[in-house]
C-alpha cells in the first residue's frame, strides 16, 4: 500500500519539490494525463548546484526514470536540457513540469488545472512515509525536524574580489549545454506526445 497524498498549498508544493529527493505525480484535471517525476538535488555543498529532473517512463521502480534535465532556481524555473537528457525539454512531461515550476514561481491564483500528489515517500530522503503527520507533510519525522529543506531561494553572491574579474563568460562556462539538435526519441516519449498534456 502506498501513502500517496495530494498537496494543495502552493508553498508546501514548492518546498516538497525542492526537498532534495522528491517523487510526485502531476495530473491534468482537464485531460487526466499524468506524469510521475523525481526531482533530486545534485550532491555537494555548492549553494547553486542544480536539481535533476527525471520522469517515470517504464515500470515504477528507480530504474524506470529517465533523466530529462536540470532546474536552476532561482535563476530560472524550467527544466533545461543537458547533453545526457533522455527526455526532451519540449516533451509533454517536461513541458508540464516546467509549466508547474513557473506557475508556482509567479503565483497566479489557485493551482486549479492540475493535481499534485506526493508518492508516499519522504521528499528529502526517499524513505516510505508511514505516520499520518508525515504523510500530510510529505516529509519523514527526521527530515521534517531538520532546520529547512534545501531551498531554491536566492543566495546572496559574495562580492567579487578585486583580483578576480567576474565576467559573463565565466558564468557561461557553468551554464548547462542546451541540446540544439533533436535527440533520438524513445517510444515512451512518443506515447507521451500523442497523449498531450492539454494544460
Ligand atoms: Zn526523510
Give the domain ranges of the chain. 5-150+161-195
**Cα–Cα distance measured from residue 182 to residue 12, given in angstroms and rounded to the nearest whole number:** 36
Q: Which of 37-46, 59-68, 107-116, 158-167 has the highest mean pLDDT?
A: 37-46
Over range 170-176, report the average pLDDT: 48
Res. 51: pLDDT tops 70 = yes
If you measure from the C-alpha of residue 53 to the centroid of ligand 1, how many angstroms do you get, rounded to a whole number? 19
Instruction: Output the furthest CA–CA distance in the chain (Å, rounded).
Output: 59
- ω into 74 cis (within 30 of 0): yes
If you measure from the C-alpha of residue 39 to the centroid of ligand 1, how many angstroms do you get, rounded to a whole number? 14
If you measure from the C-alpha of residue 71 to the centroid of ligand 1, how many angstroms do you get, rounded to a whole number? 21
If we measure between CA atoms, which residue out of 194, 150, 145 comes closest to residue 16? 150
Res. 165: pLDDT tops 50 = no
If you measure from the C-alpha of residue 151 to the centroid of ligand 1, how many angstroms do you get, rounded to a whole number? 16
If you measure from the C-alpha of residue 149 to the centroid of ligand 1, how many angstroms do you get, rounded to a whole number? 10
Whose grid coordinates read 565565466? 170
Over range 69-73, report the average pLDDT: 96
**What pLDDT, on a 0 to 100 scale, did the predictor assign at position 150?**
52
Q: Which of 137-151, 153-167, 168-182 has the lowest mean pLDDT?
A: 168-182
Does residue 13 or residue 175 have the better pLDDT?
13
pTM: 0.74
Does residue 59 or residue 135 have the better pLDDT?
135
The model's confidence at residue 125, banded by pLDDT at 50, 70 and 90, is very high
**Cα–Cα distance measured from residue 2 to residue 109, given in angstroms and rounded to the nearest whole number:** 30
Res. 136: pLDDT tops 80 = yes
- Do the Cβ atoms of 57 and 87 come closer than 8 Å? yes
**What pLDDT, on a 0 to 100 scale, did the predictor assign at position 123?**
97
If you measure from the C-alpha of residue 121 to the centroid of ligand 1, how many angstroms do you get, rounded to a whole number? 8
Over range 111-135, report the average pLDDT: 95
Res. 155: pLDDT tops 60 = no
Amino acid at each position: 500500500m502506498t501513502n500517496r497524498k495530494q498537496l494543495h498549498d502552493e508553498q508546501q508544493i514548492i518546498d516538497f519539490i525542492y526537498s532534495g529527493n522528491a517523487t510526485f505525480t502531476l495530473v491534468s484535471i482537464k485531460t487526466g494525463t499524468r506524469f510521475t517525476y523525481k526531482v533530486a538535488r545534485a550532491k555537494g555543498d555548492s549553494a547553486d548546484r542544480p536539481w535533476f529532473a527525471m520522469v517515470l517512463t517504464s515500470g515504477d521502480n528507480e530504474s524506470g526514470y529517465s533523466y530529462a534535465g536540470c532546474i536552476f532556481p532561482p535563476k530560472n524555473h524550467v527544466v533545461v536540457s543537458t547533453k545526457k537528457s533522455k527526455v526532451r525539454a519540449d516533451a509533454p512531461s517536461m513541458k508540464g513540469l516546467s509549466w508547474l515550476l513557473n506557475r508556482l514561481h509567479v503565483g497566479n491564483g489557485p493551482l486549479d488545472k492540475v493535481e499534485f500528489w506526493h508518492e508516499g515517500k519522504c521528499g528529502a530522503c526517499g524513505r516510505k512515509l508511514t505516520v499520518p503527520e508525515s504523510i500530510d507533510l510529505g516529509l519523514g519525522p527526521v527530515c521534517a525536524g531538520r532546520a529547512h529543506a534545501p531551498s531554491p531561494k536566492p543566495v546572496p553572491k559574495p562580492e567579487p574580489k578585486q583580483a578576480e574579474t567576474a565576467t559573463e563568460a565565466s558564468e557561461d562556462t557553468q551554464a548547462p549545454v542546451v541540446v540544439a539538435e533533436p535527440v533520438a526519441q524513445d517510444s515512451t516519449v512518443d506515447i507521451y506526445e500523442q497523449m498531450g498534456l492539454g494544460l
